[in-house]
Amino acid sequence: MSLVIGNEWNILFANNPKIHAFAVVKDGKIIWQTDNWNLVEDIKSIMKTVEKESSELSSGGVIYKRIASSKDTYVATADGKKGHFLLVRIEGNIWAIAFAAPSSVPELTMIDIKKTAIKLRGSL
């Protein structure tokens, strides 16, 4: 499983290097994350925020404001050019989470993350 996610991360990053970090959450627990990111402390509150479609999400001491959400996606942006926080449901209780650079366009970045989520379906 780790190899599959790692391979998809490599493809995602090669396609869109403005995505700086990536993680996969299953049943509220991190099952894989890039070495440059640690969501373990924040994952419970992150998933509650997404479930409730709250207006703000906090991770690593940074507050991100929701700009769009649905039952399968959540997109938030931080003030002060601190980047974007994006989540896409892979399937069931499995989510892909990404952090993208402030210079990225969240709507376009979501397309890349959704493609990765589709590729990961059935393998986790």
- Tell me the domain boundaries of the chain: 2-120
Residue showing tokens 């440059």: 36
pLDDT at 1: 72
Express each pLDDT in 44-75 by its tens digit: 999 999 999 999 999 999 999 999 999 999 99
Q: Coil, strand or helix: which one is 101?
A: coil
Residue showing tokens 């640690």: 38
Three-state secondary structure string covering 63-81: EEEEEEECCCEEEEEECCC
Express each pLDDT in 71-117 by its tens digit: 999 999 999 999 999 999 999 999 999 999 999 999 999 999 999 99
User: At how many degrees (to 10) do helices 106-120 and 2-15 cross?
Assistant: 150
Q: Which of 109, 82, 92 is nearest to 19 (CA)?
A: 109
Express each pLDDT in 7-57 by its tens digit: 999 999 999 999 999 999 999 999 999 999 999 999 999 999 999 999 999
CATH of domain 2-120: 3.30.450.30
